[in-house]
Structure 1
Amino acid sequence: MQASFGEIQKIVDHIETNFDREITAHEIELLSHYSYRNFQRVFFKIFNETVSGFQKRLKLENSYKKLIYTEDKISEIAWQVGYDNIQSFSKAFKKQFSVSPVEARKQKQDVFRQFIENGSPNLKFEIKYKDEVIVYCKFIKTKDYHNAEIDALWKEIEPEDEIFESAYGIIHDQPLITNRFHCRYGAAVTYDNDLKGFLKKEIFGRKYVKFTHYGLYEHILGTYRSFYRFWLSEQSLLLDNSDVIEEYTETESGEKVTHIYFPLYE
């Protein structure tokens, strides 16, 4: 089987959108136009896990985010991510993370403690609604959101002069929860026509807490640390488990600016 990464990503995007329900082999065959067995081989070669294993991991990682980002009842979270009962959810969760859902919620400060210990408490932010934007994306798996791999992806997309009106980064995973080798990053651009080899999708279309990083992208972790320090102290600010979006721009003087949008729980 020969398949481009773009074709695989289309199926991955479908699985991500529907992680909370069973996706059948027949459904994947219709979407990919390949046998499920052959698709599984290609998927495993690219992602180093089976389709079912990938979907199960998405369920549990999204539930972990809901546990620490929201105040929803654990039984409701189990149902939201596709488990019929809290017993099977709790068993799967503990097997994946070595703590129970109850313990994970109680220990949410511990998840961030090591990451934020050197962060600055000063942070300017705003709450705003962002209209939907249609973008064209390419995705990579990147260990711990490694900057060199992200830079290489952008150089592949825009090797010379900037040709796209807007540029965004799609942060699929919470690296303090997701295994460092499974983190996924999407480079997204706006364009007037369809782009071959890119996945077309919508981003935004909801309310966000927005904060800004000034300067080189390689120093952006410091700004994320500041945000998490602020968020942990602001108990009323509930977050959603969907993608974090980075918007890349620059000032009139040429300083690099990254606006970071964390989705708010609605």
Structure 2
Amino acid sequence: MQTNFNEIQKIVNHIEANFDREITAHEIESISHYSYRNFQRIFFKIFNETISGFQKRLRLENSYKKLIYTEDGISEIAWHVGYFNIQSFSKAFKQQYSISPVEARKQKHEVFKEFIENNKTDLKFEIKYKDPVSVYCKFIKAQDYNNQEIDALWEEIEPEDELFNVAYGIILDQPLITSYSHCRYGAAITSEDDVNGFFRRDIFGGRYVKFTHYGSYENILETYRSFYRYWLSDHKFLLDNSDVIEEYEESEVTHIYFPLYE
């Protein structure tokens, strides 16, 4: 049986949306139209991890982001990501990251230290509300958000550029927390008609901090460094753990939207 990453994105989205609870074999089968056993095999072949392992990783990665992005209490975070008591959460977190949730919150500057050091670029930003936008997406695993893999995805899409007016990049993971090999990127386009081979979903819908990268995408990490440097030194807002969106407005202009904690 043949499949690919984009074909199973519907069930991946379902797992992501419900990572904080047990997902049944019946749910998997009704959404994927595969037997649960076959889907497990396909999922492992693509992600190199089991469905339950993927779900556990999402729980812990989202909890880590909440620890460093927000001021929520640790017990509240544990409950939000699907742990019913703080003891089991703390044990799982320490097994994954070799530090406790309390230590992770205290050491959040260490998470970004190597990434942001020696960067002095000024950053201008604005806070704005973005209405939901319906887009068609194609997702890949992009190790550490490797530009070559992302460029190859857009080159695959380019022949269809008459179909869309605006293009977006969906940054699903935080590479300073998520293992490089598990980082996922989505190329998203707008279209009035269905686009074959693309998965439909909504993006945006809330308040964001927006900043802009000017120049080649090869240098976009410098702009991210500037943002994290500013955010860590002057907390004027709390961040959310949902997706970061890149909006490709024109040649060498990329608007970057970080979701704000409500």
Identify the TM-score tier after normalising by the shorter chain. Answer: over 0.9
Tell me which moved more, 25-34 or 144-153. 25-34
- Match for residue 261 of structure 1? 257
1:191-226: CA deviation from partner (whole Å, max 9, x where unpaired): 011111111000000000000000110100000000
C-alpha separation in 2, matches of 1:15 and 1:125: 33
- Mapping of 1:70-149 within 5 angstroms? 70-149=70-149
The one-letter amino acid of 1:47's match is: F
Q: What amino acid maps onto 1:262 in structure 2? A: F
Residue 259 of structure 1 aligns with an amino acid whose one-letter code is: H
Cα deviation per residue 1:118-140 (whole Å; 9 max; x = unaligned)? 22251000000000000000000
- How big is the shift at 1:164? 1.4
Q: Which amino acid aligns with 1:242?
A: S
Q: How does 1:135-214 map to 2 (within 5 A)?
A: 135-159=135-159, 163-214=163-214
Deviates more, 1:130-139 or 1:15-24: 15-24
Equivalent-residue separation in structure 1 for 2:4 and 2:176 (angstroms): 30
- Using structure 1 for the length normalisation, give the TM-score: 0.96
Listed one character per residue, the Cα deviations across residues 68-126 of structure 1 (whole Å, up to 9, x for unaligned) are 00000000000000100000000000000110000000000000000000222510000
Tell whether the 8 Å contact from 1:121 to 1:229 is kept in structure 2 after alignment.
no
Deviating beyond 2 angstroms after TM superposition, the runs of 4 or more aligned structure 1 residues are 1-7, 159-163
SS in 1 for 2:71: coil
> Once structures 1 and 2 are overlaid, which stretch shifts more, 17-26 or 156-165?
156-165
Aligned-residue offset at 1:249: 1.5
Q: Distance in 2 between matches of 1:161 and 1:168?
A: 13
In the alignment, structure 1 residue 63 sits paired with structure 2 residue 63: yes
Aligned-residue offset at 1:25:
1.1
User: What is residue 17 of structure 1 aligned with on the other side?
Assistant: 17
Contact 1:7 1:32 in 2 (8 A): no
2:45 matched residue in structure 1: 45
Q: Deviations over 1:114-172 (max 9, x none)?
A: 00002225100000000000000000001110000000000001137554110000000
Q: 1:23-47 CA distances to partner (integer Å, 9 max, x unpaired)?
A: 1111101111111111000000000
- Cα distance in 2, alignment partners of residues 210 and 235 from structure 1: 15
1:213 touches 1:220 (CA, 8 Å); kept in 2? yes
Question: Aligned pair count?
Answer: 262
Distance in 1 between residues matched to 2:6 and 2:211, nearest whole Å = 31
- Structure 2 residue ranges without an equivalent (≥5): none
Q: Is the deviation greater in 44-53 or in 18-27?
A: 18-27
Q: Is the 8 A contact 1:125 1:209 kept in 2?
A: yes
TM-score normalised to structure 2 length = 0.97
CA RMSD in angstroms, aligned pairs only: 1.1
Query: SS where residue 159 of structure 2 aligns?
Result: coil
Rounded Cα–Cα distance in structure 2 between residues aligned with 1:182 and 1:13: 15
| Residue ranges of structure 1 left out of the alignment (5+ in a row) | none
